[in-house]
Amino acid sequence: MCWRWLLSCKILRKISLGMRFYGGWLLCLSLLLVIFHIFSVVEFHPNSVIEGGPNKRNKKSDHLLLGPAAGQGLPNRLQCQGSKALNKTHLLTSPSASNVGDRIVFVTMFTIYNTSLDSHADSKSSNLVTVGNVSYTKTERSMAILNVFINFIQVTMPRSSVIILTDPESDLLLQRNKVTLYPIQGEYSREKLMLQRIRSYITFLNTRLKELAQNPRHTSHYIFTDSDIAVVDDLEHIFQKFPKFHMALTFRNNKEQPLNSGFIAVRGTPKSILRAKIFLQEVLEVYTSKYMSASRMLGDQLALAWVIKSDPNFDLRRFSKARAFLAEIGGASVLFLPCATYNWTPPEGAGQFRGMPLDVKVVHFKGSRKRLMLESWNFFSSASDISDMLCLILMSGRTKYDF
């Protein structure tokens, strides 16, 4: 309904501008009649618009939906023909070629509670969703996402390993190669989950510091991420390409939320780990003192942004260009990486967006895009082509899915 009004208003404005030039009053009168007719059509049949429209638009899809691929014809954006990529930029490196350099450890927090009561309600057929030929309960969906997160890492960065920070009370059972569970005592209620996550990151970094003090030669770099991401290219290069940073964050050009907490990289040297720990302790302090009432999902991002913005030397205008840069924040050398490449997600809603950069390395399946994450993995499993899969994601990333 709303967009029709807007459209009509735009037409009205354009026509009235035109009229000034032509000055023909008769023309104006007849045009106005036509316009009134347009308005009356819109106004007198509102029900027909409301009935089918919003409901259909709000319904979340239970199967893959493909729209047009954004960014076609733009340079440095992925070009697609259907779900075939015309730019094959993501060629998987052979394991032998990447067998040099530093080890990367991905760290994610994940918990799952599997009380008998829940799992009974969960397995009712009405709560099942089907992806490919597999039906999932709610718990199984979370597990599938975690597994796909690990799958992508093992395909694109086969030398790296995964550590899962979890609640000791969690019923998480997972046996995968190069994946370790790391229980940390804490408060894992839904309201406090993001707060606990920062606490867990700090605890983890602290343990690494102690280990390094005993065995200084054992260095790995750490990348803390959400588990609803797909690593689609090697990330090791950031530690060599930008040799000076202690920790890295991803940013976007968004005034209220310029930083996303879903990707934090920490260099594996004692000094960097210490700096990152102190930085996160400050974020935690800001979170608990300023943002406890914030939405349970956003508090950490608001606190992160607050810490950055309150540094007197930080130039916020640097967020407007999607280019990596380094800045000193309270003693830590922080590398800011553009979300467009290191934390890519299509914008929600109807806003414009300019497609997918050719060098995208991390895709974030935020919000109602978890189904797309599983579908993408299934697609990749059969097509074995990352670029084609990225076309699928590009065409489908703005659909709201059922989970």
Where does this chain bind ligand NAG (CB under 6 A)?
A: 79, 86-87, 112, 114, 119, 132-133, 139, 143, 171-173, 358
Question: Is 35 or 92 the residue whose CB approaches ligand NAG more closely?
Answer: 92
Question: Is 333 or 376 the residue whose CB approaches ligand NAG more closely?
Answer: 376
DSSP 253-312: S-SS--EEEEEEEE-SSHHHHHHHHHHHHHHHHHHHHH-TTS-TTTHHHHHHHHHHHT-T
Question: Is 299 or 355 the residue whose CB approaches ligand NAG more closely?
Answer: 355
Number of alpha carbons in the 13 Å side-chain half-sphere of residue 26: 0
CB of 36 to ligand NAG, least distance (A): 47
CB of 142 to ligand NAG, least distance (A): 8
Question: Is 139 or 368 the residue whose CB approaches ligand NAG more closely?
Answer: 139
Question: Is 171 or 328 the residue whose CB approaches ligand NAG more closely?
Answer: 171
Specify the DSSP element, H or E, that contains 336: strand 332-338
Question: Is 132 or 331 the residue whose CB approaches ligand NAG more closely?
Answer: 132
Question: Is 164 or 358 the residue whose CB approaches ligand NAG more closely?
Answer: 358
Buried b (16+ CB within 10 A) or exposed e, 228-242: bbbbbbbbbebbeeb
CB of 171 to ligand NAG, least distance (A): 4
Question: Is 70 or 104 the residue whose CB approaches ligand NAG more closely?
Answer: 70
DSSP 72: T
Residue count of the chain, please give it: 403
Cα 116 to Cα 113, 126, 139, distances in angstroms: 10, 18, 12
DSSP 135-195: EE-HHHHHHHHHHHHHHHHHHH-TT-EEEEEE-TT-------TTEEEEE--S---GGGHHH
Question: Is 307 or 391 the residue whose CB approaches ligand NAG more closely?
Answer: 391
Helices 370-383 and 386-396: crossing angle, nearest 10°? 150
CB of 155 to ligand NAG, least distance (A): 17
Question: Is 139 or 257 the residue whose CB approaches ligand NAG more closely?
Answer: 139
β-pairing verdict for 103-109 and 84-85: unpaired
What are the E-state strand segments in 86-147?
Answer: 103-109, 129-131, 134-136
CB of 378 to ligand NAG, least distance (A): 7
Classify residue 124 as exposed, middle or buried by CB count within 10 Å of its CB (0-12, 13-18, 19+): exposed
**Could you tell me which of 297, 61, 55 has the C-alpha nearest to residue 194?**
297
Q: Contacts from 38-47 at CB under 8 Å and sequence distance 24+?
A: 38/8, 38/11, 39/8, 42/1, 42/4, 42/5, 42/8, 46/1
- How many other CB atoms sit within 10 Å of the CB of residue 400? 15
